[in-house]
Amino acid sequence: MKILVTGGAGFIASHVADAYIELGHEVVIVDNLSSGSKANLNSKAKFIEVDITDKAKIQEIIRQEQPEAINHHAAHIQVGYSVKNPQFDAENNIMGLLHIMEAAKEIPVKKVIMAATGGAMYGNKATPFTEEMKAEPLSPYGISKRAGELYLNYYHELYQIPYISLRYSNVYGPRQNAHGESGVIAIFSEMIAEGKVPAINGDGTHTRDYVYIEDVVRANILALNSSFVGELNIGTQTEISTNEVWRKVVAEMGVSIEEKHVVERPGEQVTSSLDYSKARKILGWEPSVNFDEGVRRVVAWYQNK
């Protein structure tokens, strides 16, 4: 199958592109390299440097390439920046998707998989979050992802384009950008590997649900072959505090450093964890790499980088 992977120079989609190529699919990657890197590109993929906000260019590419499926990961992903500049977030995450879908409906593509968010989708509710809970995103980033899902539902209803929105929890693994505002495992690992002492925001008791990249890739493979249409949580239903992340990374690095805390970022969600029973029922998906093993692999990757 010919698959257009957007954001394929980035962390998650570069692994997805690798897996699709490994399975024998033909992959075309589009990326503007704003946070992605050419080093992540699979040499067997065709790479086109383009910004998905450039309507004419991205639509021309889709018309020329005629992909059978689109795996959409290109997005602006910084929640804090989305609060400061909601328009920028909407231009990339909502308008970018619309440019793609308006060309996709002409072909028409047979399947769209979109990376959404589970962590920023449900607002401040009791954990674990299920897909049946009302989506009440509290940030422009979360709103842009929910809007994307609603648009995909529209293209499905009107143009019969099947879609699956994968609502990831906090994804971690090799190649994650350690210079953004999220990705605490990458940030801690890279800083400690460079001999620096990372700081924990606040008292470190906030929890997140960390899902390993290999499991996220498997969800993207299963989604490609599934006839399901709709939203699926992809997480572990396990809550891990930032303090636990810090201690685990420090232990795996084999260093002895004192915990350092700085003032909490305002508006931070306190807890987050995703119920993945729907993904298990529909895709046969469940996480296979536990947190200890995942951190071990990430730390080894940063130490050998």
Ligand X SMILES: NC(=O)c1ccc[n+]([C@@H]2O[C@H](COP(=O)([O-])OP(=O)(O)OC[C@H]3O[C@@H](n4cnc5c(N)ncnc54)[C@H](O)[C@@H]3O)[C@@H](O)[C@H]2O)c1
In this structure, are residues 94 and 55 in contact, taking their beta carbons and an 8 Å threshold? no
Nearest-approach distance from CB 297 to ligand X, in angstroms: 16
Out of 3, 4, 12, 41, the residue judged to bind ligand X by CB under 6 A: 12
| 277 vs 113: CA distance, rounded Å | 19
Nearest-approach distance from CB 207 to ligand X, in angstroms: 15
25-57 CB burial, b ≥16 within 10 A, e <16? bbbbbbbbeebbeeebbbeebebbebbbbebeb
Residues in contact with 254: Cβ distance below 8 Å, sequence separation at least 6, in sequence order: none
Restricted to residues 156-195, the positions that interact with ligand X (CB under 6 A) are: 168, 170-171, 177
Out of 4, 5, 35, 101, the residue judged to bind ligand X by CB under 6 A: 35
User: CB-wise, 75 or 298, nearer to ligand X?
Assistant: 75
- Cis peptide preceding 108, ω within 30 of 0: yes
User: CB-wise, 178 or 299, nearer to ligand X?
Assistant: 178
Residues, the chain? 305
**DSSP character for 78?**
-
Residue 227, amino acid: S
Catalytic residue among 20, 141, 172, 210: 141
Residue 151 bears catalytic tag: no
Out of 11, 122, 212, 285, the residue judged to bind ligand X by CB under 6 A: 11
Cα 137 vs. chain centroid, distance in angstroms? Answer: 16
CA quadruple 149, 275, 13, 196: dihedral sign: positive
User: CB-wise, 35 or 226, nearer to ligand X?
Assistant: 35
**Residue 32 is a binding residue for ligand X (CB under 6 A):** yes
**Residue 148 is a binding residue for ligand X (CB under 6 A):** no
127, two tokens: 């954990």
138, two tokens: 């509290």
Residues in contact with 242: Cβ distance below 8 Å, sequence separation at least 6, in sequence order: 184, 200, 201, 202, 204, 205, 206, 207, 208
Nearest-approach distance from CB 141 to ligand X, in angstroms: 7
String of contacts with ligand X for each residue 95-124, x by CB under 6 A = -x------------------x-x-------
User: CB-wise, 13 or 187, nearer to ligand X?
Assistant: 13
**Residue 66 is a binding residue for ligand X (CB under 6 A):** no
Out of 34, 66, 160, 205, the residue judged to bind ligand X by CB under 6 A: 34
Query: What residue ranges bind ligand X (CB under 6 A)?
Result: 7, 9-13, 31-36, 51-53, 73-77, 92, 96, 115, 117, 168, 170-171, 177
- Which residue numbers are catalytic? 141
